[in-house]
């Protein structure tokens, strides 16, 4: 774990450490926590590194890097007995730290920085060079765990390239000095080691966070129009797209989220694959627009990166509180699909599926992401695009439209069909003129309040959801992982997936057999499958990052099956592997029916 | 075959009140499009919500009757996704200057090549005559229980400050003049605001056709005559709205000042015509500079896949390589 005041380089040092470990073939999961503040407040980054695959963070800290007082005060109790604490001897005497049971490693940051400045004749820039505290702490950390310096050197040279290439030698020099110091004086006393993993020739791994994963998925999925209004943590996704103009995505920063969704809908009307990304408060503002898109059968894709609400809530902290809102946002009834990806692979592939669904069923698709994965850094396999395909549904080519008109006379945008889905033209096409309106309308799109038409139009729109439920394969709707005959069935959605999967391994080692039902597509709800699994489960427990167990409510509504117990958390901090283990034990051994988790700083 | 106004009409049922100013504006739109010989399929109209907002249903082009106040952002999205279309955004005074005011301002920052035409009658007609943002203070129209307590905004002055590059005012029953302004607004390469004054015969009992046109009944013949019309045409007074050198900041300041002053005239004499015009790079131009693919395609027409196999067209190998760790 590394901490410091916001803006002091915590993120970049964590990333450097993570990249160096990943370059050694190790599996990395990083979790970022920060205040709603630009500079000054405390932030920290927790990196878990393993020789085995991992998908979550844990509560224990084995090595804490500090260069300010606050990090020490906030986090020193999280360090395990025998763990290491890096500290600045100009701020603390060792006995002041109050952790005699830990290995305390003083780092004379200023001395190393001064020596570096002297070596590179940069004495006059000494203030600017303070940022090198980060690289120094990373180097000491890598030295302690026994990873090769080469990994760090290569990583630094990759980071400091192009315009910043001149900075590489200086950083490498300082890192070397710090690394040697750690190896020589402290490595033998530090009990935790990481070994490089030999990487099979066929293996390619990438490391990224959730917003980059969705951005890349959108690119592959054909999104060419993205709107956003600045909001944490969703903006990162749009900024990634904006900084990669080579993909051809038009990114528009709108004046508010109402404009963000209506611009995206306007673009979708012309045939562009269009999307907007936001978080809770912005999603609330988008509600009316969603309804217009539903009424007019416009394929628009909305990504909602959930964060703790209501209102501004905890704007930089995690929660899964928007599920029931996403299922019903906007007045009236219209079809929508709601996806809840649970890891960085699903973030990528769901972005592609979302556009396919939106166009195939000609209706809005909402993807529920969250802060935890948006800001988590993870090593994952290279994205395989072999099975990926684009499905534009009944979008008509000019030729198809001409054929349709010659056989049917006139084109009707909202023609009544068996599936409820009508062939779709776009402005500019000959003979494809349509009208769209938020009012109820007839087949060509003109306003009518005729009761018979209303009855039929509602059926036409709503039955698209039944078609989607039939067509979408079960493996896209749910994941059911683990021993079929388990002591406990954990039911969840979204980013809790990683902690649950990791916890299942721990539980297994302790003789507790758990399986995991991840509901991935929440609307249309995979009722039959979920009912089947749950009716056979010994003990049904929902794991959710909200107060009221929203998925459990949805499951009960759809299947009639109640949960036996709930494991819930809403303190704004993502769930850890340990917490899932603890929750399961409290349910099984203490017979608790509602476990409320509270870990995290 | 040359297009006629008839080609831009539809058979959708029109339920506006008899004598509504909307009819004049609708006719002017249809005639303007026909005179410009624009293909109906290349035109995309957007409107918000209100009586006026039904207009797209009566025009035989692609049309979207959207949400209250949101005509502009819908239109902005469509225009930026496919700049080859002629996109016209229709607003109302309550719709565009009230609930949609944020979009009115912020669209001014973007200079899209697009016309924003606002139906301005001072009242919320469809909800039975409440005061709109352009109704002057202390005026009490038929359905107001007390005189209007709010001041009115001046849309032309606001547009000037917001960055619109073509600012004009028309009048619903001035068919020829309005047609010309619509065409000028469409032809203007940049963002055009055309505010159109129109009577609401049902609810605005003050700013009536008689009021605007100074109509008085000749007692002997029983015929209404324009005795003292309030409206006059700017171009007939030698007024030059155009910034001839967009690099000359002094000329810009002078033309803006002049437009602001003219926008303050109201009451006995009300100017119509073009108040201000400047040609500047558009948002579409700026986007092309940033996103190379837009030099060849639009977002709406960019190939995203192989139609036969469904394979995505874009290659992200380079981006993934940048993220590769082992």
pLDDT digits (tens, 9 = 90+) for A462-471: 999 999 999 9
**B21/B226 Cα distance (integer angstroms):** 18
Task: Walk me through the domains of chain A, giving residue ranges and CATH numbers.
Answer: 2-189 (3.40.920.10), 207-381 (3.40.50.970), 398-471 (no CATH), 475-597 (3.40.50.920)
pLDDT digits (tens, 9 = 90+) for B16-49: 999 999 999 999 999 999 999 999 999 999 999 9
Residues B162 and B191 in one domain: yes
pLDDT digits (tens, 9 = 90+) for A315-354: 999 999 999 999 999 999 999 999 999 999 999 999 999 9
Question: How far apart are the CA of B120 and the nearest CA of chain A, in angstroms?
Answer: 21
- A183 to chain B, any CB pair closer than 8 A? The answer is no
Cα–Cα distances in Å, from B153 out to B51, B122, B135?
21, 11, 8
Residues B265 and B294 in one domain: no
Query: With 0-12 CB in 10 A as exposed, 13-18 as middle and 19+ as buried, what is A476?
Result: middle
Supply the mean pLDDT for chain A: 97
* Interchain pair A206, B323: CB under 8 A: yes
* Interchain pair A383, B320: CB under 8 A: yes
Residues B197 and B293 in one domain: no
The 3-class SS string of A418-480 reads: CCCCCCECCCCCCCCCCEEECCCECCCCCECCCHHHHHHHHHHHHHHHHHHHHHCCHHHHEEE
Nearest to B73 among A28, A244, A263 (CB): A263
* Interchain pair B67, A388: CB under 8 A: no
* Interchain pair A427, B75: CB under 8 A: no
- Pairing assessment for the beta strands B114-120 and B123-124 based on DSSP bridges: unpaired
ipTM value of the model? 0.98
Residues B225 and B295 in one domain: no
Residue A341 contacts residue A213 (beta carbons within 8 Å): no
- Say whether pLDDT at B178 is over 80: yes
- What's the token pair of residue A409? 């006379």
Beta bridge partners of B242: B277
- A82 to chain B, any CB pair closer than 8 A? The answer is no
| A32-41, A216-225, A251-260: range with lowest mean pLDDT | A32-41
For residue B304, which residues of chain A lie inside 8 Å, CB to CB? 222, 224, 273, 390
**B211/B205 Cα distance (integer angstroms):** 9
> How confident is residue B185, by pLDDT bands cut at 50, 70 and 90?
very high
DSSP category for residue B142? T
* Interchain pair A271, B105: CB under 8 A: no
Residues B13 and B105 in one domain: yes
For residue A274, which residues of chain B lie inside 8 Å, CB to CB? 77, 81, 299
For residue B90, which residues of chain A lie inside 8 Å, CB to CB? none
In 3-state terms, what secondary structure has residue A205? strand
- A24 to chain B, any CB pair closer than 8 A? The answer is yes
Residue to substitute from A250, A377, A397, interface B, most B β-carbons within 10 A:
A250
Residues B182 and B248 in one domain: yes
**Containing structural domain, residue B155:** 5-283
Locate the chain B residue with the closest alpha carbon to A355: B304
Dihedral over Cα of A403, A408, A409, A410: its sign: negative
Nearest to A255 among B60, B106, B316 (CB): B106
* Interchain pair A389, B62: CB under 8 A: no
In 3-state terms, what secondary structure has residue A163? helix
For a pLDDT cut of 70, what percent of chain B falls above it?
A: 100
pLDDT at B119: 98
Residue A378 contacts residue A388 (beta carbons within 8 Å): no
Q: Which residue in A275, A445, A420 sits closest to A360, CA to CA?
A: A420
Locate the chain A residue with the closest alpha carbon to B283: A252
- A131 to chain B, any CB pair closer than 8 A? The answer is no
- A265 to chain B, any CB pair closer than 8 A? The answer is yes
- Say whether pLDDT at A576 is over 90: yes
For residue B84, which residues of chain A lie inside 8 Å, CB to CB? 428
Residues B148 and B136 in one domain: yes
Question: How far apart are the CA of A363 and the nearest CA of chain B, in angstroms?
Answer: 16
CB-CB neighbours of A314 under 10 Å: 17
- B145 to chain A, any CB pair closer than 8 A? The answer is no
Cα–Cα distances in Å, from A216 out to A207, A241, A303, A537, B303?
13, 8, 14, 37, 17
Across the range A280-296, mean pLDDT stands at: 98
In 3-state terms, what secondary structure has residue B12? coil
DSSP assignment of A513-559, as one string?
-EEEEEE-EEES--HHHHHHHHHH-SSEEEEESSSS-HHHHHHHHHH
pLDDT digits (tens, 9 = 90+) for A405-439: 999 999 999 999 999 999 999 999 999 999 999 99
- Say whether pLDDT at A274 is over 80: yes
Question: How far apart are the CA of A443 and the nearest CA of chain B, in angstroms?
Answer: 12
Residue A111 contacts residue A90 (beta carbons within 8 Å): no
* Interchain pair B57, A390: CB under 8 A: no
Question: How far apart are the CA of B202 and the nearest CA of chain A, in angstroms?
Answer: 22
Across the range A275-303, mean pLDDT stands at: 98
- B228 to chain A, any CB pair closer than 8 A? The answer is no
**A500/A492 Cα distance (integer angstroms):** 9
Residue A295 contacts residue A262 (beta carbons within 8 Å): no
For residue A204, which residues of chain B lie inside 8 Å, CB to CB? 324, 326
Across the range A270-286, mean pLDDT stands at: 98
Question: How far apart are the CA of A243 and the nearest CA of chain B, in angstroms?
Answer: 10
* Interchain pair A292, B81: CB under 8 A: no
Locate the chain B residue with the closest alpha carbon to A268: B78
Residues B315 and B170 in one domain: no
pLDDT at B218: 80
pLDDT at A310: 98
- Say whether pLDDT at B1 is over 80: no
- What's the token pair of residue A375? 């800001």
Residue to substitute from B73, B76, B99, B110, interface A, most A β-carbons within 10 A:
B73
Nearest to A205 among B102, B287, B325 (CB): B325
For chain B positions 39-98, those within 8 Å of chain A (CB to CB) are 40-42, 44, 46, 49, 54, 56-57, 60-67, 70, 73-82, 84-85
Residues B75 and B42 in one domain: yes
- Say whether pLDDT at A561 is over 80: yes
Residues B138 and B258 in one domain: yes
For chain A positions 344-373, those within 8 Å of chain B (CB to CB) are 352
- Pairing assessment for the beta strands A42-50 and A27-33 based on DSSP bridges: antiparallel
* Interchain pair B82, A271: CB under 8 A: yes
CATH number of the domain enclosing B37: 3.40.50.970
pLDDT at A563: 98
pLDDT at B263: 98
Beta bridge partners of A132: none
Residues B237 and B314 in one domain: no
For a pLDDT cut of 90, what percent of chain B falls above it?
A: 94
> How confident is residue A379, by pLDDT bands cut at 50, 70 and 90?
very high
DSSP category for residue A4? E
- A22 to chain B, any CB pair closer than 8 A? The answer is yes
Nearest to A388 among B103, B105, B312 (CB): B312
- Pairing assessment for the beta strands A300-306 and A273-279 based on DSSP bridges: parallel
Domain count, chain B: 2
Cα–Cα distances in Å, from A403 out to A25, A249, A391, A400?
56, 32, 21, 5
Across the range A98-120, mean pLDDT stands at: 96
H or E element: which one contains A96?
Answer: helix A94-97
Residues B197 and B265 in one domain: yes
Across the range A371-381, mean pLDDT stands at: 97
* Interchain pair A446, B319: CB under 8 A: no
**A465/A334 Cα distance (integer angstroms):** 9
DSSP assignment of B39-88, as one string?
-GGGEEEEE-SSSGGGHHHHBSSEEEE--TT-HHHHHHHHHHH-TTSEEE
Residue B61 contacts residue B43 (beta carbons within 8 Å): yes
pLDDT digits (tens, 9 = 90+) for A8-32: 889 999 999 999 999 999 999 999 9
- Pairing assessment for the beta strands A565-569 and A594-597 based on DSSP bridges: parallel
For residue A258, which residues of chain B lie inside 8 Å, CB to CB? 70, 73
pLDDT digits (tens, 9 = 90+) for A129-173: 999 999 999 999 999 999 999 999 999 999 999 999 999 999 999
**A233/A235 Cα distance (integer angstroms):** 6
CB-CB neighbours of B162 under 10 Å: 17
Q: What angle do CA A222, A226, A231 make, to 5 degrees?
A: 135
Size of interface A-B (CB pairs under 8 A): 234
- A159 to chain B, any CB pair closer than 8 A? The answer is no
């Amino acid at each position: 774990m590394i901490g410091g005041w916001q803006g002091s380089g915590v993120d970049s040092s964590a990333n450097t450490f993570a990249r160096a470990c990943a370059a050694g073939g190790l599996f990395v999961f990083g979790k970022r926590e920060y205040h709603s503040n630009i500079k000054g407040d405390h932030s920290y980054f927790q990196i878990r590194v393993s020789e085995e695959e991992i998908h979550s963070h844990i509560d224990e800290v084995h090595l804490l890097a500090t260069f300010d007082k606050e990090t020490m005060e906030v986090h020193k109790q999280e360090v395990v007995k025998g763990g290491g604490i890096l500290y600045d001897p100009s701020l603390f005497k060792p006995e002041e730290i109050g952790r005699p049971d830990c290995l305390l490693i003083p780092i004379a940051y200023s001395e190393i920085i001064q020596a570096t400045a002297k070596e590179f004749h940069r004495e006059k820039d000494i203030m600017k060079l303070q940022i090198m505290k980060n690289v120094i702490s990373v180097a000491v950390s890598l030295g302690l765990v026994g990873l090769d310096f080469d990994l760090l050197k290569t990583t630094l040279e990759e980071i400091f390239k192009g315009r910043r290439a001149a900075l590489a030698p200086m950083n490498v020099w300082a890192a070397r000095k710090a690394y040697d110091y750690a190896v020589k004086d402290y490595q033998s006393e530090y009990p935790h080691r990481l070994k490089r993993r030999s990487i099979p020739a066929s293996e390619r791994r990438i490391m990224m966070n959730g917003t980059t994963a969705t951005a890349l998925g959108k690119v592959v999925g054909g999104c060419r129009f993205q709107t956003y209004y600045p909001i944490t943590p969703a903006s990162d996704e749009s900024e990634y797209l904006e900084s990669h103009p080579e993909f051809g995505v038009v990114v528009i920063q709108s004046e508010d989220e109402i404009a963000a969704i209506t611009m995206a809908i306007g673009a979708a009307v012309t045939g562009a694959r269009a999307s907007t990304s936001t978080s809770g408060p912005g999603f609330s503002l988008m509600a009316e627009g969603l309804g217009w898109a539903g009424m007019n059968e416009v394929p628009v894709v909305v990504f909602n990166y959930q964060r703790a609400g209501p209102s501004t809530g905890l704007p930089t902290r995690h929660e899964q509180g928007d599920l029931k809102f996403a299922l019903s946002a906007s007045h009236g009834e219209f079809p929508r699909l709601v996806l809840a990806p649970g890891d960085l692979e699903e973030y990528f592939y769901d972005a592609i599926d979302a556009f396919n669904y939106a166009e195939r069923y000609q209706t809005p698709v909402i993807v529920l992401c969250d802060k935890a994965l948006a800001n988590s850094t993870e090593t994952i396999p290279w994205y395989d695009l072999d099975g990926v395909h684009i499905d534009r549904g009944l979008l008509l080519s000019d030729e198809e439209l001409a054929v349709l008109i010659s056989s049917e006379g006139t084109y009707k945008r909202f023609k009544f069909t068996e599936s409820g889905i009508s062939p779709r033209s776009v402005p500019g096409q000959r003979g494809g003129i349509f009208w769209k309106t938020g009012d109820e309308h007839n087949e060509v799109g003109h306003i009518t309040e005729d009761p018979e038409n209303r009855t039929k139009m509602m059926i036409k729109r709503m039955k698209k959801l039944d078609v989607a439920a039939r067509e979408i394969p079960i493996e896209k709707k749910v994941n059911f992982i683990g021993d079929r005959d388990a002591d406990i069935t954990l039911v969840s959605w979204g980013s809790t997936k990683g902690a649950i999967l990791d916890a299942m391994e721990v539980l297994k080692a302790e003789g507790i057999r758990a399986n995991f039902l991840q509901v991935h597509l929440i609307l249309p709800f995979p009722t039959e499958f979920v009912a089947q699994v749950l009716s056979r489960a010994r003990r049904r427990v929902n794991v959710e990052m909200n107060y009221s167990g929203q998925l459990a409510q949805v499951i009960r509504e759809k299947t009639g099956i109640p949960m036996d117990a709930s494991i819930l958390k809403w303190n704004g901090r993502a769930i850890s592997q340990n917490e899932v283990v603890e929750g399961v034990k409290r349910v099984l051994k203490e017979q608790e029916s509602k476990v409320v988790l509270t870990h995290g700083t | 075959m040359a297009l006629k106004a008839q080609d831009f009409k539809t058979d959708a049922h029109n339920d506006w009140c008899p004598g509504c100013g909307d009819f004049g504006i609708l006719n002017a739109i249809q005639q303007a499009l026909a005179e410009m010989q624009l293909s109906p399929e290349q035109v995309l109209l957007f409107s918000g919500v209100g009586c006026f907002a039904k207009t797209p249903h009566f025009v035989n082009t692609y049309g979207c009757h959207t949400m209250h106040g949101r005509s502009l952002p819908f239109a902005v999205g469509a225009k930026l996704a496919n700049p080859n279309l002629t996109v016209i955004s229709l607003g109302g005074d309550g719709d565009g200057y009230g609930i949609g005011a944020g979009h009115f301002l912020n669209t001014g920052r973007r200079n899209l090549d697009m016309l924003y035409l606002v139906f301005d009658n001072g009242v919320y007609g469809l909800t039975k005559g409440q005061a709109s943002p352009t109704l002057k203070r202390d005026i009490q129209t038929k359905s107001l229980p007390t005189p209007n307590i709010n001041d009115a905004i001046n849309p032309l002055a606001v547009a000037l400050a917001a960055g619109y590059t073509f600012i004009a005012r028309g009048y619903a029953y001035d068919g020829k003049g309005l047609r010309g302004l619509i065409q000028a607004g469409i032809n203007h390469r940049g963002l055009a605001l055309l505010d159109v004054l129109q009577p609401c015969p049902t609810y605005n009992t003050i700013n009536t056709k008689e009021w605007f046109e100074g109509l008085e009944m000749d007692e002997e013949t029983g015929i209404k005559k324009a005795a003292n019309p309030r409206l006059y045409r700017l171009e007939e007074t030698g007024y030059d709205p155009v910034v001839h050198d967009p690099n000359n900041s002094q000329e810009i300041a002078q033309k803006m000042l002049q437009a602001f002053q003219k926008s303050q005239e109201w009451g006995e004499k009300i100017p119509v015509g073009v108040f201000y015009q400047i040609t500047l790079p558009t948002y579409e131009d700026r986007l092309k500079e940033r996103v190379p693919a837009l030099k060849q395609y639009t977002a709406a027409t960019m190939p995203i896949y192989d139609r036969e196999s469904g394979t995505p067209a874009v290659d992200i190998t380079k981006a993934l390589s940048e993220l590769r760790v082992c």
